[in-house]
């Protein structure tokens, strides 16, 4: 019998964690580089809003197709391919010469990144027991927050040292290397792994979610969109992303310009809510699994999400009541912590109801969420332009969090999406 010192699935989750770190380092670069890019290429605040927003449009539109591709072709080739594509486009961002060229590059960059999290859902479905699903998703999403937090001060430093064009080239090179290594090492299922021990293989196959006899190998998009549960899942994820994407896109320039901070100082302030988001992901993941192991499947998804949205609403309301950078960042951290508590239950929920079609179902949820992110990125500069105030945006975020609580109160993870009407 083969023996391994460290369970292979733990090594795998470290690799997927690194993938999400890279994903958000590349994505967050442009926010920290806003000042230099706008100065060089002559972009206004609303111009830059569209540049950041068009990424989320490409990202949203290709979620479901890339998720279905991972379901049918497997996560190995899909992840290797998309990492290589988005990393090339990260590097190519450094060659942008005009507003139009930047819009095209960032749209394609978003489309290239679209398959990452849906494909990771397929990895989780194949490789991990249901009782570990929450913390695995929490770790994966915490990587995205740590990546963004790490990127803010790092990119600020690199901008000062080598300029924004060379900064994008450096990050693109790292991604291409990751894509090659993933394809060479990863295997689609634990049964195909060369280094997995016999006991671990037996444990995984016995405790992971089993295929359903009536499940369709490829779930049509029309069938997914007919599901009431799917619509609730999509609405609550729009609400979550509406809050989080502010921290990823506009928080850096908001903190810098409102409180007149230096580039590196603003980078460190901006990283704090993102680190809080990582902690929120870990805590929610632990709660999801702990409640599930106590035999309460519905509550394991609902409770962390509802608590998270409540904290997010409180944090956003309090941001409107303070006038110092420290307190503003502290309450923003509370809001992002809460919003990120909703991710582990949301993605675990998609795998629950999607099963063999986890990629397509989670991709559809993420599509909706990123359409919400698209609106966020556009809404912030325009609301400020129309009202001259930041507060209306934060109040809208809080209101959407309350809407999401109502969605979660009736969401049921025990209803597979393909036979929802039968249960």
Q: With bands split at pLDDT 50, 70 and 90, how would you rate the model's confidence at 246?
A: confident
- Residue 165, judged by CB atoms within 10 A of its CB (0-12, 13-18, 19+), counts as middle
The confidence score (pLDDT) of residue 1 equals 43
Evaluate whether 326 touches 422 at the Cβ level (below 8 Å). no
| Domains recognised in the chain with CATH numbers | 8-209+218-422 (1.20.1250.20)
The confidence score (pLDDT) of residue 216 equals 52
- Three-state secondary structure call for residue 84: helix
- Answer yes or no: is pLDDT of 4 > 60: no
Q: With bands split at pLDDT 50, 70 and 90, how would you rate the model's confidence at 33?
A: confident
Count of Cβ atoms closer than 10 Å to residue 98 Cβ: 11
The confidence score (pLDDT) of residue 217 equals 60
Count of Cβ atoms closer than 10 Å to residue 239 Cβ: 27
- Answer yes or no: is pLDDT of 150 > 80: no
- Answer yes or no: is pLDDT of 111 > 50: yes
For the ranges 154-168, 244-258, 385-399, the maximum mean pLDDT occurs at: 385-399
Q: What angle do CA 133, 231, 302 make, to 5 degrees?
A: 40
The confidence score (pLDDT) of residue 211 equals 62
Residue-wise pLDDT for 294-322, tens only, equals 888 889 999 999 999 999 999 999 988 88
| Arithmetic mean of pLDDT, 30-57 | 82
15 or 207, higher pLDDT: 15
Output Rg (C-alpha) for the chain, integer angstroms.
21
Residues 6+ away with beta carbon under 8 Å from 387 = none
- Answer yes or no: is pLDDT of 2 > 60: no
Evaluate whether 397 touches 312 at the Cβ level (below 8 Å). yes
Averaged confidence pLDDT in the chain: 83
Range of lowest pLDDT (22-36, 71-85, 331-345): 22-36
The confidence score (pLDDT) of residue 225 equals 81
| Arithmetic mean of pLDDT, 174-192 | 86
Evaluate whether 243 touches 339 at the Cβ level (below 8 Å). yes
Handedness of CA 347, 314, 290, 201 (dihedral sign): positive
The confidence score (pLDDT) of residue 100 equals 92
- The distance of Cα 131 from the centroid of its chain, to the nearest Å, equals 22
| Arithmetic mean of pLDDT, 131-142 | 81
- Answer yes or no: is pLDDT of 93 > 70: yes
Closest of 209, 245, 283, 186 to residue 27, by C-alpha: 245
Share of the chain above pLDDT 90, in %: 19
- Answer yes or no: is pLDDT of 368 > 60: yes
| Arithmetic mean of pLDDT, 212-218 | 56
Pair of tokens at residue 234: 């999509």
How many residues does this entry show for the chain? 423
- Answer yes or no: is pLDDT of 153 > 80: no
Q: What is the pTM of this model?
A: 0.73
Evaluate whether 400 touches 236 at the Cβ level (below 8 Å). no
Pair of tokens at residue 67: 């998720």
Residue-wise pLDDT for 377-416, tens only, equals 788 888 888 888 888 889 999 999 999 999 999 998 877 7
What span, in angstroms and rounded, lies between the C-alpha atoms of 105 and 90?
8
């Amino acid at each position: 019998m083969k023996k391994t010192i460290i369970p292979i699935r733990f090594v795998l989750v470290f690799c997927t964690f690194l993938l999400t770190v890279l994903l958000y380092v590349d994505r967050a670069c442009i926010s920290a580089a806003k000042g230099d890019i706008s100065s060089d290429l002559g972009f206004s605040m609303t111009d830059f809003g569209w540049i950041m927003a068009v990424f989320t449009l490409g990202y949203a539109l290709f979620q479901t197709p890339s998720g279905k591709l991972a379901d049918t072709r497997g996560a190995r080739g899909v992840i290797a391919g998309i990492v290589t594509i988005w990393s090339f486009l990260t590097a190519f961002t450094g060659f942008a010469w005009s507003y139009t060229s930047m819009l095209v590059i960032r749209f394609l960059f978003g489309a290239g990144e679209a398959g990452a999290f849906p494909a990771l859902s397929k990895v989780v479905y194949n490789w991990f027991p249901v009782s570990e699903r929450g913390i695995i998703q929490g770790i994966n999403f915490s990587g995205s927050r740590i990546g963004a937090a790490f990127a803010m001060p790092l990119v600020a430093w690199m901008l000062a040292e080598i300029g924004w064009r060379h900064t994008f080239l450096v990050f693109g090179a790292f991604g291409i290397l990751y894509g090659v290594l993933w394809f060479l090492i990863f295997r689609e299922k634990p049964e195909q792994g060369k280094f997995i021990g016999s006991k671990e293989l037996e444990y995984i196959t016995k405790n992971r979610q089993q295929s359903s006899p009536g499940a369709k190998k490829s779930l049509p998009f029309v069938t997914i969109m007919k599901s009431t549960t799917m619509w609730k899942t999509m609405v609550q994820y729009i609400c979550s992303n509406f809050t989080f994407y502010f921290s990823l896109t506009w928080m850096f320039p908001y903190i810098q310009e409102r409180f007149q901070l230096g580039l590196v100082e603003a980078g460190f302030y901006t990283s704090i809510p993102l680190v809080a988001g990582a902690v929120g992901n870990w805590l929610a993941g632990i709660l999801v699994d702990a409640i599930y192991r106590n035999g309460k499947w519905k509550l394991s998804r609902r409770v962390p999400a509802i608590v998270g949205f409540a904290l997010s609403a409180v944090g956003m309301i309090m941001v409107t009541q303070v006038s110092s950078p420290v307190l503003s960042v502290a309450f923003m951290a509370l809001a992002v912590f809460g919003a990120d508590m909703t991710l582990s239950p949301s993605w675990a929920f998609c795998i629950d109801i999607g099963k063999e079609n986890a990629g397509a179902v989670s991709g559809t949820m993420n599509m909706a969420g990123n359409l919400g992110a698209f609106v966020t990125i556009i809404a912030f500069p325009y609301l400020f332009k129309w009202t001259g105030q930041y507060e209306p945006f934060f109040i809208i975020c809080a209101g959407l969090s309350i809407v999401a609580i109502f969605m979660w109160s009736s969401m049921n993870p025990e209803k597979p999406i393909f036979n929802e009407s039968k249960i």
